[in-house]
Amino acid sequence: MARLFLKNPLGILAEGAEGGIVVEDGRIAELVPASAAPLGPVDETFDASRHVVLPGLVNAHHHFYQTLTRAHPAAVDKELFPWLTSLYPIWARLDPDAFRLSVRLALTELLMSGCTTAADHHYLFPKGLENGIDIEAEEAASLGIRATLTRGSMNLSQKDGGLPPDGVVQDEDTILADSERLIARYHDRAEGSMLQIALAPCSPFSVTKSLMVQSAELAEREDCRLHTHLGETKDENDYCQKLFGYRPLDYLEEVGWLGPRTWLAHGIHFTTEECARLGRHRVGICHCPTSNAVLASGFCPVEGLMAAGSPVGLGVDGSASNDASNLIESARHALMVGRLRTQSAAAVTSRDVLRWGTEGSAACLGRSDIGRIVVGLQADLALFALDELRFSGAHDPVAALVLCGATRADRVMVKGTWRVVDGMPLGVDVARLRAEHGAAAARFA
């Protein structure tokens, strides 16, 4: 088992590792204090003196397929409900080849931004794309990135009073049968797992209560996690009030989702009392600051949720409501949005948002083996160089990543293996991917 010493980093998001990290057998084997040497022999040394080292970033919410419809004229400058109704008919034309390219591009972008684990919420299954999650699993394995693939679903279409068109929904039996198939085939519960499956009915306005209840029961039986959108917009609150007679969180409790197995995307429009309820039940929240800003959805009450006991992570959300798949950029946006919301510069720090995007997101996904630089945990690392003009004059290298606007990692390691070197993903022809993906996206104009 070769031992790699990442020596003398310029900065590091860890205590007691100022002199570097030793990696062995895909794990963090040793933290080296400042001016010290590793306790044991090493086989290779990497000079990290120009790098800031972070735990690999963890993206807790995304929609990979939406890379095909970024800045789309049908949806630009719209809020969530009209944005969705404009794009659903376009997304209904999704086919396996275009979908594969959308996934490959999203995962490649994420890797290049320092992301080592990605959760995708795929809920759109037009005819011919029934094996969409299998395609995602293949692409994640090819790139060597960890993934939590959520088997999303919609079974409440426009004819039933829902938001999505009839052509993109499935019936309950089909959804549950495929969920069981995917769990049996891909869900690896072991420490260090590269791929896990979660169940993710899309939202209160696109699924039935029965599907929510049965998904929760299946997740309990199979020991997997639950994910959905909740509390994203005032329109959603109004919809739930009109349809069910109560607010979205009450709906979540009624269908059996209020527990530590669940993490929610967005979580914006919760009252103080609702934040306390979420915290008591250890429900995770994935904060999506960029998407929330683009769609003018509102401000997630991050500090209140964390104080109540909810794990809070970061997600880029869909590439058609973020228009990028860049998690280090979203960390910066989380800082800016958080300070605007709290009107306090001290309320949200650079290290806070980096922890949300690492340790917090890992907790949302139910992972205790990633997200921190600690002996025994997985060697998932993102190394950023501060060579660009934007970083010149920066005195705190860790804070500089956020405050000066880092956009791209120089090196990325997953499970002890380099996956990005000199800013480029290994094994990926980026120019070819750009051309092929662009040609596929053109069909969705």
pLDDT of 98 > 90? The answer is: yes
- 135-145 per-position pLDDT tens digit: 999 999 999 99
Handedness of CA 433, 111, 196, 192 (dihedral sign): positive
Q: How far apart are CA 380 and CA 386, in angstroms?
A: 20
Q: How far apart are CA 136 and CA 345, in angstroms?
A: 40
Please enumerate, as own/partner, the contacts of 424-430 that have beta carbons within 8 Å and a separation of 24 or more.
424/112, 425/108, 425/111, 425/112, 425/143, 427/142, 427/143, 428/104, 428/108, 428/143, 430/108
Query: pLDDT at position 159, please?
Result: 86
Query: pLDDT at position 61, please?
Result: 98
pLDDT of 157 > 90? The answer is: no
pLDDT of 83 > 90? The answer is: yes
Q: Vertex 409, ends 430 and 396: CA angle to 5°? A: 160
Q: How far apart are CA 328 and CA 322, in angstroms?
A: 13
CA 364 to centroid of chain Cα atoms: 10
Average pLDDT for 167-180: 95
Tell me the pLDDT band of 97, cut-offs 50, 70 and 90: very high
Cβ count near 281 (within 10 Å): 18
Domain 3-54+379-425: homologous superfamily in CATH: Urease, subunit C, domain 1 (2.30.40.10)
Average pLDDT for 60-76: 97
Residue position matching structure tokens 């709290």: 342
Closest CA to 232 of 165, 296, 327, 278: 296
Which of 105-119, 196-210, 426-440 is predicted least confidently? 196-210
Evaluate whether 280 touches 309 at the Cβ level (below 8 Å). yes
Cβ count near 75 (within 10 Å): 19
- 44 forms beta bridges with 4
The tally of CA atoms less than 13 A away on the side-chain side of residue 207 is 28
Evaluate whether 172 touches 211 at the Cβ level (below 8 Å). yes
Average pLDDT for 120-126: 96
Q: How far apart are CA 106 and CA 65, in angstroms?
A: 8
Query: pLDDT at position 302, please?
Result: 97
pLDDT of 162 > 80? The answer is: no
DSSP track, 249-313: HHHHHHTT--STTEEEEE--S--HHHHHHHHHTT-EEEE-HHHHHHTT-----HHHHHHHT--EE
- 13-33 per-position pLDDT tens digit: 999 999 999 999 999 999 999
Tell me the pLDDT band of 166, cut-offs 50, 70 and 90: confident
Alpha helices in 126-223 (DSSP H): 132-143, 172-186, 209-222
pTM of the model as a whole = 0.97
Q: How far apart are CA 130 and CA 234, in angstroms?
A: 32
Query: pLDDT at position 158, please?
Result: 84
Instruction: Name the class of domain 57-364.
Output: alpha beta
- 3-state SS, residue 20: strand
Query: Dihedral of the CA atoms 72, 73, 78, 81 (nearest 10)?
Result: -70
- 298-351 per-position pLDDT tens digit: 999 999 999 999 999 999 999 889 999 999 999 999 999 999 999 999 999 999
pLDDT > 70 in the chain, percent: 100
Closest CA to 183 of 197, 172, 202: 197
21: left (phi over 0), alpha (psi -120 to 50) or beta: beta
Task: Indicate where the chain has its CATH 3.20.20.140 domain(s).
Answer: 57-364
pLDDT > 90 in the chain, percent: 93
Q: Which residue has the higher pLDDT, 164 or 30?
A: 30
Q: How far apart are CA 397 and CA 403, in angstroms?
A: 10
Alpha helices in 32-124 (DSSP H): 80-91, 96-112
Task: Indicate where the chain has its CATH 2.30.40.10 domain(s).
Answer: 3-54+379-425
Query: pLDDT at position 132, please?
Result: 98
Average pLDDT for 358-375: 98
Q: What mean pLDDT, rounded, does the chain reach?
A: 96
- 248-290 per-position pLDDT tens digit: 999 999 999 999 999 999 999 999 999 999 999 999 999 999 9
Tokens found for residue 272: 């103080």
